[in-house]
Amino acid sequence: MARSDVIIPTIFVPEFYRGSAEKAEVFNEAAAGAITLQNDFAVQEAGGESTQPIRFVTNTGIESRMDHTSSGNASFTPLTQVSGKAIRLNRKMTPVIFDDEVNVSTNNMAEWNVVAARQMAESQLIAQRNMAYGAVIAAIESMDTPSADFHLQGSRVILGGTRVPLTHARLNTLLGLMADAREKIVMLAMPSVGFQELIGAAIALSSLDTVAGATLHGATPASFNNPVLVADVDSLQTAADSVNMADYFVLGMGVGAVSVKVVMQDALEIERDLVSERKNTKLRLDYTVEIAVAGMEWTSGTINPTNAQLATAANWDENLDDHRQCPIVRGRFQTATA
C-alpha cells in the first residue's frame, strides 16, 4: 500500500457512523429521552429508521354527551398537524490534514482512520449537544403564554447583593412550574457550579460517570431522583463582570424536549495536496442538522442561523395548546464567584 493511501474509506466511513451511533445511543439513554441527538445516516447505516418531528393540535371537544332525541349529524373534530417548528443549520467538519511524512513514521494507516473518524464523530455529537442547550434556553425565555411561564427569570445579581444559589427548595419551585405535569420532567442539565451547590452534603449518595463530554450524575433525592447531566458549556453560564455576579442556568426536561438530528450529510470528500513540499491528504465532511424544541417554533426568517442567533430568544415563540406539550423548565441562579 502506498503511503498516499492514508484515507481508507472502507475503514473511515463505517467507523465514523459506528462512533456516531454508539455515542448518541449512550448520551440519549443518559438523558432519559429528554434530549435526542441523532445522525440519521448513522441510524440507517445500522439498519434503523429516522423520523421527522411533528406535532398535532390538541382537540378538547372530542368527548361529549350523546343526544338521543336528535336526528341530525354528529359534529366532527379534525386532527390537525402543525409543521414548521424546526430550524436547520448547515455545519462542517474543519478539513483534517494527514501528513505523508507522519504517516510513514507511524506506518499504521488503519489506526489513523479509526482515530480521525472517532474524533469527528464525538465532535459532531458535542456540537449537537451544545446547540440543544442553547436552543432550549433561548426558546423558553421567549415563552410568554401567561399559563405557561416555564422559567424562573430573575434579574442578574449586583456584586455585593444577596445571590440566589441552586438549592433543593429552589429546585422544587422550578419543577413546580410544570404544575400538575411536573412528573414529566425526567432529567436535569446544569454546569458544574450548580451541581456542586445542589448536591452539597448529599455527594456521598451520588454516582458519577461520563458521557459525551459531560458528567452524568445518577438519580438521588437531592435531584428529586432525576439524573443530572453536568457540562460547563457557554450556553449554560454567563460570566461575571465588573457589576454583576456570574449566572448559570438549570434545565429540567421531559421526554422529547429537544432533538438535534443530522438530516443531510455529504459524502466524505478527499483531496490530495501535491503542491506543498510535504505532501498531505485533506478530508472534509459537511452536514445539516435539524433542531426542534417541544412546544416551541423557530419564527425568525433567518436561514442557516449562527449559534448566537439560535440562542436568541426573539427568534423563538411558543406553539402549543397545553403546558404539557412543552416539558421544559428553566431556572437562572448565581454563583459565589464575582
**pLDDT one-digit tens code per residue, 237-268:** 887 777 777 888 999 999 999 999 998 888 88
Whether residue 122 has pLDDT greater than 60? yes
Task: Name the range with the highest mean pLDDT among 145-154, 216-225, 326-335.
Answer: 326-335
Whether residue 48 has pLDDT greater than 50? no
pLDDT of residue 16: 85
**Mean pLDDT over the full length of the chain:** 78
Strand partners, 249: 332
279-330 tens-digit pLDDT: 888 888 899 999 999 988 898 888 889 989 999 989 998 887 777 888 998 8
pLDDT of residue 153: 54
SS3 227: coil
Q: Averaged over 103-132, what is the pLDDT? A: 80
Strand partners, 208: 217
pLDDT of residue 322: 76
Q: How many angstroms separate the CA atoms of 6 and 180, rounded? A: 58
Which stretches within the chain are classed as H helix? 9-30, 40-45, 100-106, 109-141, 168-176, 192-199, 307-310
Lowest mean pLDDT among 20-29, 101-110, 323-332: 101-110
pTM metric for this prediction: 0.79
311 DSSP 8-state letter: T
SS3 56: strand
Q: How many angstroms separate the CA atoms of 273 and 269, rounded? A: 13
Short-list 315, 316, 320, 317, CA closest to 295:
320
Lowest mean pLDDT among 148-152, 161-165, 188-192, 285-289: 148-152
Whether residue 4 has pLDDT greater than 60? no
- Name the one residue in this structure whose C-alpha cell is 474509506: 9
Lowest mean pLDDT among 101-105, 170-174, 247-251: 101-105
Whether residue 156 has pLDDT greater than 60? no
Q: Quote the cell numbers at residue 209.
A: 460517570
pLDDT of residue 199: 80
Q: How many angstroms separate the CA atoms of 122 and 16, rounded? A: 9
SS3 214: strand
State phi, psi for 12 to the nearest 5 degrees: -65, -55
Percent of the chain with pLDDT over 70: 73
327 HSE (CA, 13 A, CB side): 19
State phi, psi for 239 to the nearest 5 degrees: -65, 150
Whether residue 115 has pLDDT greater than 90? no
Q: How are beta strands 316-318 and 296-298 bridged, if at all?
A: antiparallel
Q: Averaged over 187-212, what is the pLDDT? A: 72
289 HSE (CA, 13 A, CB side): 28
Cβ neighbors of 239 (< 8 A, separation 6 or more) are: 246
Q: How many angstroms separate the CA atoms of 35 and 131, rounded? A: 11
More confident of the two residues 245 and 177: 177
SS3 93: strand
H or E stretch at 146: none
The angle at the Cα of 254, spanning 249 to 259, to the nearest 5 degrees, equals 85
Q: How many angstroms separate the CA atoms of 103 and 89, rounded? A: 34
